[in-house]
Amino acid sequence: MKKLIFVVTLAIGFAFINACGGGEPKEKPKGFDADAFNEEADAGAKEKEKAAHESKGIGKFTNVEIAATLDAKMAQAGSGVYDLKCASCHKLTDEKLVGPGWKDVTTRRKAEWIMNFSTNTDEMITKDPAAQAMLEECLVRMPNQSLSDDDARAVYEFMRKNDGVK
């Protein structure tokens, strides 16, 4: 009886993970192998993170040209937008407040993904796997803060400054 409950729990666990991760496992597990399970989960997470890292998200920004050096003036404008519309939920360190801290976000995500997420928030939360994963973690939908395209670009430049780009 106990075993049955365990198996059911396991099945639900798998179903949940599948639902979150998307993509069917190649073959159904025959018995429970904790090591293999964890390994597979880790591999899944890594794969997802890699996909998120390469994703441009969903929205109007498909190709944003980023110079090697910082545009200080633009970063300054971005800092103003940050204070008004972002700082309530995002710290500049790696500490999570309502949303994740911004430290190193420009190395975790492409410029296009960040700018699409900040301007096309609802569609991204509904459709983009990386945005959905963040929602599962934070449990608060990121609000659309009505950033203009220029605002979004300026905030990205400010993020670059925060990540040490000179």
Partner 1 sequence: MKSNLIKAAVVLCAAVFIQSCKPQGPAKAISGDAAAKAYVAPGKYDEFYNFVSGGFSGQMSVYGLPSGRLFRVIPVFSVDPEKGWGYSEETKPMLNTSHGFVPWDDLHHIALSETDGIHDGRWAFANGNNTPRIARVDLKTFRTAEIIEIPNSGGNHSSPFITENSEYVIAGTRFSIPMDNTNGDVAINTYKENFRGTVSFIGVDKTTGNMNLSFQVLLPGVNFDLARAGKGKSHGWFFVSCYNSERANTLLEVNASQKDKDFIMAVNWKKAEEYIKAGKGEKRTVAYAHNVYSDKTHSATSTMEKEVMVLDPKDCPDMVYFMPCPKSPHGCDTDPSGEYIVGSGKLAAIIPVFSFTKIQKAIADKNYDGDYQGIPVLKYDAVLHGEVKKPGLGPLHTEFDADGNAYTSFFVSSEVVKWKLSDLTVLDRAATFYSVGHLCVPGGPTKKPWGKYLIAYNKITKDRYLPTGPELAQSAQLFDISGDKMKLILDFPTIGEPHYAEAIPADLLSKNSTKIFRLEENTHPYACKGEKDAKVERKGNEVHVYMSSIRSHFVPDNIEGVKLGDVVYFHVTNLEQDWDVPHGFAVKGANNAELLIMPGETQTLAWRPDRTGVFPMYCTDFCSALHQEMQGYIRVSPSGSAVPITFSTGTNKPAAETPAQ
Residues that bind partner 1 (CB under 8 A): 83-85, 87-89, 98, 121, 139-141, 143-147
C-beta contacts of 134-143 below 8 A and 24+ residues apart: 134/99, 134/100, 136/20, 137/100, 138/96, 138/98, 138/99, 138/100, 140/89, 140/98, 140/99, 142/89, 142/99, 142/117
SS3 53: helix
User: Least Å distance between CB 70 and partner 1?
Assistant: 22
Of 70 and 138, the one with the shorter C-beta distance to partner 1 is 138
Of 42 and 122, the one with the shorter C-beta distance to partner 1 is 122
User: Least Å distance between CB 109 and partner 1?
Assistant: 21
Please tell me the total number of residues recorded for the chain in this structure: 166
User: Least Å distance between CB 138 and partner 1?
Assistant: 10
Of 33 and 122, the one with the shorter C-beta distance to partner 1 is 122
